[in-house]
Structure 1
Amino acid sequence: MQTELAGKVALVTGGSRGIGKAIALALAEAGADVALNYQNNDRMAEEVCGEIRNRGRRALAVKGDVAVAAEVTRMVEEVRQGLGPIGILVNNAGIGHIASIDTISEQEWDATLAVNLKGAFLVTQAVLPDLRRARWGRIINISSVAAQMGGVVGPHYAASKAGIIGLTHYYAAYLAKEGITVNAIAPGPIATDMSAALPQLKPESLPVGRFGTPEEIAAVALLLAGNGFLTGQTVNVNGGRYLG
């Protein structure tokens, strides 16, 4: 896999912490240069870049809101100028504010769909020219077990993550002949800031008896990045929470 990914340029959205950070570091270990998109925390993004450089790879932190087309265009161009054409895209950026059926507002719905689903669409569209020119590419979309069984965050989150699976299927079907694979990962509860904000999630409720780790999701992302025959799939990494 190091041979396959060596020298490739990866863009990981939401890459300054949690699952995104773990994937960025795993890709760097496999030989890729990595650009991290983030929205707020400059210090955390630069710390991750430092860890990537310590692994002997180039790194770049690019600030921007994935839900805003103009910012996505600027962000992707910064990556091209700083590291070169993008070959691997990980659409990981997402938000998940808790709201029930009775409390969800139109604003919360729109904001969640904008970041979680529209953001993946915008960044993919911006990166596609690089992948098509190379006739090689890997797109990895981060969905959620909530897409399959509703979850506990709210209808807005479940719908956005289900949309990611549909988007994955569409791109996979139309891009396979161009050497571009597109897959999704649907994590269950992972030990991140989001899970910590959901007290109703209990490790003992999972068949494996614990939350997953960001590194366990990163291992699957690395598998998808290195496999040119695997496309259009949703890989469930959920500790047995959903047996699909």
Structure 2
Amino acid sequence: MPATLFDLTGRVALVTGGNKGLGKAMARGLAEAGADVVIASRNESELQGALEDILAGTGRRGAYRVTDVSVRDDVTKLAAFALEKMGRVDILVNNAGMNAPQAIDAVTDEIWDRVVEVNLSSVMALTRELVPQMKERRWGRVVHISSIMGQVSKERRNVYSATKAALMGLARASALDLGPFGITVNCIAPGPFMTDMPMSVLSEPEKQAFADRTALGRWAKPTELVGPVLMLCSEAGSYVTGQTLFVDGGYLAR
């Protein structure tokens, strides 16, 4: 019985930012659990190879679409593509995101608008497009990838923290809207994971400080997010909704 709780055979998952890092790891985990998978990102040169890696040895179907989630029309077209290509979307993982560290008095309108669009508005738009067909089948799973920076913060994370905190509020409200239709909506808030984004914006002392603050004393590997996302996207998490699951190695416990 425990194995069947995580079985996603017959389900279709859409993962934004699925070309690398956490998105690719989660998409691979969903495929290994039996789901067909659609991934999207801006980088076409990475998408094809990523999809091959995600599907290798699983026997699952998959597709990819080049999408810039900062462009609202691209988001709408991604939803239509996934539904046309796969016939349904049962699981939506809103993973695409960006960071543009600036002190509050250095945040430009351009930076604010772009980060809000990528990290928050695109999540609303894609969820809005896909939940109607989930409601028809009275089953669905929506997971927003937030961050511990939505609960705590640090210098120059004004826009990033604002958007990641907003995802938690969005999940709570959407969970109430969609619960009567058998759809759960949750957030995962990762702590220090070894992906391109933090590796590119943090100094070496900052990286070490993040590791030292965790209870486990280290950064996580992307594959360590697979278990949590499978729980929330399967029958194992059928009674979990409106929640934020902090996967942070004990960062917030200190």
**TM-score, normalised by the number of residues in structure 1:** 0.95
**Aligned to 1:185, what secondary structure does the other structure show?**
strand
Is residue 182 from structure 1 mapped to residue 185 from structure 2 by the alignment? yes
Is residue 167 from structure 1 mapped to residue 173 from structure 2 by the alignment? no
- List runs of 5+ in structure 1 lacking aligned partners: none
Q: Structure 1, residues 6-50: CA drift from partner, whole Å, max 9, x if none? A: 0111000111011000000000000000000111x2122111211
**Aligned to 1:120, what secondary structure does the other structure show?**
helix
Cα offset for 1:53?
A: 3.0
Decide which of 213, 222, 225 is 1:214's aligned counterpart. 222
Given that 2:12 and 2:88 are in contact with CA atoms closer than 8 Å, whether structure 1 keeps it comes out as yes
The equivalent of 1:61 in structure 2 is 64
Is residue 205 from structure 1 mapped to residue 205 from structure 2 by the alignment? no
Is residue 44 from structure 1 mapped to residue 54 from structure 2 by the alignment? no
Cα offset for 1:152?
A: 4.8
The equivalent of 2:114 in structure 1 is 111
Given that 1:145 and 1:151 are in contact with CA atoms closer than 8 Å, whether structure 2 keeps it comes out as no
- Percent identity at matched positions? 38
Is residue 229 from structure 1 mapped to residue 232 from structure 2 by the alignment? no
Cα offset for 1:228?
A: 1.1
Distance 1:195 1:82, change over 3 A: same
Given that 1:146 and 1:152 are in contact with CA atoms closer than 8 Å, whether structure 2 keeps it comes out as no
Decide which of 136, 154, 159 is 1:151's aligned counterpart. 154
User: CA RMSD for the aligned pairs?
Assistant: 1.6
AA at the equivalent of 1:42: E
Q: Provide the C-alpha distance between the structure 2 equivalents of 1:151 and 1:82, rounded to a whole number of angstroms.
A: 42
Higher mean C-alpha displacement, 30-39 vs 207-216: 207-216
Aligned length: 243
Q: Provide the C-alpha distance between the structure 1 equivalents of 2:185 and 2:134, rounded to a whole number of angstroms.
A: 12
Decide which of 58, 61, 78 is 1:75's aligned counterpart. 78
AA at the equivalent of 1:180: I
Distance 1:243 1:205, change over 3 A: closer
Q: Provide the C-alpha distance between the structure 2 equivalents of 1:218 and 1:53, rounded to a whole number of angstroms.
A: 15
Cα offset for 1:153?
A: 5.0
The equivalent of 1:129 in structure 2 is 132
**Aligned to 1:75, what secondary structure does the other structure show?**
helix
Q: Provide the C-alpha distance between the structure 1 equivalents of 2:155 and 2:29, rounded to a whole number of angstroms.
A: 29
The equivalent of 1:7 in structure 2 is 10
Given that 2:101 and 2:158 are in contact with CA atoms closer than 8 Å, whether structure 1 keeps it comes out as no
**TM-score, normalised by the number of residues in structure 2:** 0.91
Q: Provide the C-alpha distance between the structure 1 equivalents of 2:170 and 2:55, rounded to a whole number of angstroms.
A: 33
Higher mean C-alpha displacement, 136-145 vs 62-71: 62-71
- List runs of 5+ in structure 2 lacking aligned partners: none
Distance 1:237 1:152, change over 3 A: farther
AA at the equivalent of 2:230: L
Cα offset for 1:150?
A: 1.4
